[in-house]
Every structure is written in structure tokens, then in C-alpha cells.
Amino acid sequence: MESDVTRRGVMGLGLGAALTIPAAASFAAATPARARAPGSVGIAVVGLGKLSLGQILPALKLTKNAHLAALVSGKPEKARKVAAEFGLPDTAIYTYDTFDRIADDPGIQIVYIVLPNSMHAEFTIRAFKAGKHVLCEKPMAVTLEECERMIAAGKAAKRQLMIAYRCQFEPVNVTAMRILRDGTIGTPRLVSAVMGKQTDLSDPSDAWRLDMAMSGGGALADMGIYGINATRYLLLEEPVEVRGWARTDRNDPRFKTVDDMIAWQMRFPSGAIGEGSSCFSQPGTMSWQAIGSDRRLVADPGCFYGGNTLRIVGGKGDVQPSVAEIDQFGNEMNWFADVVRGRSPNIAPGEEGMQDMRILHAIMRSVANGGASVKIDAGYKRAHDPATTVGIRTSI
């Protein structure tokens, strides 16, 4: 961000085109662009920070249903270099001030917001006013009121809003959802998630995450959202009660406005419990496990950009499902391209992003009140289960 699957085939990639990649690797600048499918959808990427340069733009060299149509950046020289790599003219480069001119560019159908969280609402609403569909990075926004305005703006413009929950398009996680649904591990009782990394104030991409006004929640908003969202899609239900606790060293200059480690518990209607932690002062970790009445399902790592693994533990012995790795970002963008073309359902609409924001804010309220229980009763129900909607290739 800029700041100064079982046997049904690969449905989610659109037109059955798989994207096979090396684990956890960025794509080299020399990677040739994939041939576009008829009606390929043009995407404007807003923000040219680490995520865009390392993951999103390289993935757009592999997507078939979507292609890079424009760049929006506060650093014109950086944008010109990227544009030259993709063969884009200078007219396809916009600044944050000239962003609204995208309304006059028919080659742009989707705007992908890859900015600090505090800027998501503004640019999402501006994109809708320009008549474009929006793919927005998570967390969706900083406040619930911003989420409401984003959703309302999309409906008013009659355009699609999807939140970039890449793990809902990632083979290990989709496979895990299917294993939980088919009863392989028995009745799910506990999902435990650990998400964190070591941050550095001298790194601009970390600095804004350590600023409460820009991030809206520090490690909880940045890393914890993966564990919260994973618990929800693994269990396929919504929590009714949460609790949270924080541990933060205020003498550490990184944590002047945000908490460092936050741990939480969530209670679900079925009786299952979700627990997790997020932290900005630990080695890079993105893992989860689901414990059932019969066996355990372990993903360690489970939410990295590549190299995720899955094991079924217990019973007659451990089993490791064989899952074909694909590019999560490419799969996600191909999927959204099909959403705006009316070919696929939107499995992560604004309402999905807002539900995570409700939970995040409830956890923070609990933390502020010494771990007191906070009830959640928003009536949200997921419209589409990724386990039965997103197609991937796997074998057990």
C-alpha cells in the first residue's frame, strides 16, 4: 500500500484458466502478460506501495479476465516507470487530485483501492461517483459509518463493491472449508488463529499501520482481521459474543497510538469457540487450526501469499491434502471481473467487510473495558459460501 477446492475444476479463475505460481514469490518484471480473454475488464490500481508492486501488479500479468488499464499514485515518476513496464500511455496515469477524471476513461471498469485504511472510504465513494466498480483492500474502512457510506454509494451508483479477502480465493483455505463442511474432523469445536509480524517505524508501509488514525486498529485491523475472517468462513457462522485483551509496551515507540498484541475469544451459536491473537512485535506468523470432535485441521502457514500448507491430524494418521497453488490476487481479480460481467456471484461484498469491522470494534470495546463481554447481533448472514462457490483443484 502506498503511503509518503475439490474436483470441480478451476471455476474461480474464469474460463477454466489456472494460474500456477512459485510459492511466496513476486513475479519478475520480465514475466510476459497473459493473453486477454474477450471482454477482459480494465482495472485501475490506486496506490503503488509494497502490496501493489510486489503482488497485485505482477498478478495482473497473469490474469486472463482482467488487465491493468490505469495507475493512480501520488508519485508520478514511480507511476511512469510502472506504466512503461505495462505499455500504458501517460494518459493512463492519474494522481490523487486528478482521480475523478477516471469517469472519462471507458477503459477502466474496476478501481482497486490499495491505500492506507483511512483513505478507503474517500476513494471508494469517488470511484462510485465516477461510475466504476470497486475492489477495496481490507479492512474495509476505519469506522462503521464509513462502511455504511461505501455500501450506500455502491448501491446508488448501481455498481459492485467487493472487499479483497484473498484467502477466500486461496486453495488451502477453500479446501479447508470443504473439509470442515464434509465432517472429516467431526463437529468443529474450536478455531484458533495466530497472526503477527515484526514492524519497523522506519518502513513507510509499517509506519502508517502503527498510526491509529490511519490504520484504525494497529495489528488487530491489519493482521487480526485474517484470523477473524478465517474463523467465520471456516465455521460458516457469525459470532454472538466477543471478548478481548491487550498487552502493549507503551515505552516502545511503535505503540504510541495503537495496541501491540490483542487476543480475543468469540462465541458462536453452535457452541464453537473462536480464539486468536494479533501482534506487531513477533516473528511473521499467519497460522490457524480447527479442532473437531474427531481430528484437527492445521494450516501453518495458512494465510501467506504463497507456500500455505494444510494437514489433517489424528484418527488413523496425519493426511496432507495435495492442493495446486495459484496466485490468490490473480484469482481474486479474475473473479471480480466475472462479478462485474454478471458471470459470478460477489462472495465478499461490502456487507462482509462491515461484519468484520463490527467484530473488530467489539473486540476493541472489550479491550477498553478490561475484557468485558460484548454482544453482537447484527443479523448478518453470508450470501455465498466460498466452499461451494470458488472452484479449485485438490486431492486428498
| Statement to judge: residues 177 and 161 lie in one domain | no
Residue 256 falls in the annotated catalytic set: no
- Contact at 8 Å (CB) between 2 and 115? yes
Strands, sheet with 188-198, edge to edge from the N-terminal-most edge strand: 311-313, 296-299, 281-292, 188-198, 273-279, 261-267, 241-247, 374-375
| Statement to judge: residues 142 and 194 lie in one domain | no
| Statement to judge: residues 314 and 180 lie in one domain | yes
Q: How many domains does the chain have?
A: 2
Which domain does 378 fall in, by range? 169-325+348-395
- Contact at 8 Å (CB) between 335 and 11? no
Kindly name the residue from 94, 112, 165, 226 that is annotated as catalytic: 226
User: What integer pLDDT is reported at residue 34 of this predicted model?
Assistant: 61
State yes or no: pLDDT of 43 exceeds 50: yes
Mean pLDDT (the chain) is 91
Kindly name the residue from 112, 138, 165, 305 that is annotated as catalytic: 138
User: What integer pLDDT is reported at residue 232 of this predicted model?
Assistant: 98
| Statement to judge: residues 315 and 249 lie in one domain | yes
Choose one of 116, 139, 166: the last residue of a domain.
166
Which value, to the nearest 10 degrees, does the dihedral of the CA atoms of residues 111, 117, 119, 124 take?
Answer: 30
Radius of gyration of the chain (CA): 20
Q: What band does 117 get if pLDDT is binned at 50, 70 and 90?
A: very high
| Statement to judge: residues 160 and 174 lie in one domain | no
| CATH classification of the domain holding 128 | 3.40.50.720
| Statement to judge: residues 175 and 318 lie in one domain | yes
State yes or no: pLDDT of 374 exceeds 90: yes
pLDDT in tens, 208-227: 999 999 999 999 999 999 99
| Statement to judge: residues 311 and 388 lie in one domain | yes
| Statement to judge: residues 199 and 276 lie in one domain | yes
State yes or no: pLDDT of 9 exceeds 70: no
Cβ neighbours around 38 below 10 Å, total: 6
User: What integer pLDDT is reported at residue 23 of this predicted model?
Assistant: 29
388 occurs within a structural domain: yes
User: What integer pLDDT is reported at residue 315 of this predicted model?
Assistant: 86
Choose one of 166, 191, 216: the last residue of a domain.
166
| Statement to judge: residues 100 and 118 lie in one domain | yes
pLDDT in tens, 139-196: 999 999 999 999 999 999 999 999 999 999 999 999 999 999 999 999 999 999 999 9
Residue 226 falls in the annotated catalytic set: yes
| Statement to judge: residues 161 and 175 lie in one domain | no
Cβ neighbours around 144 below 10 Å, total: 15
What mean pLDDT is predicted for residues 303-329? Answer: 93
Distance separating alpha carbons of residues 60 and 70, to the nearest angstrom = 12
Choose one of 110, 139, 166: the last residue of a domain.
166
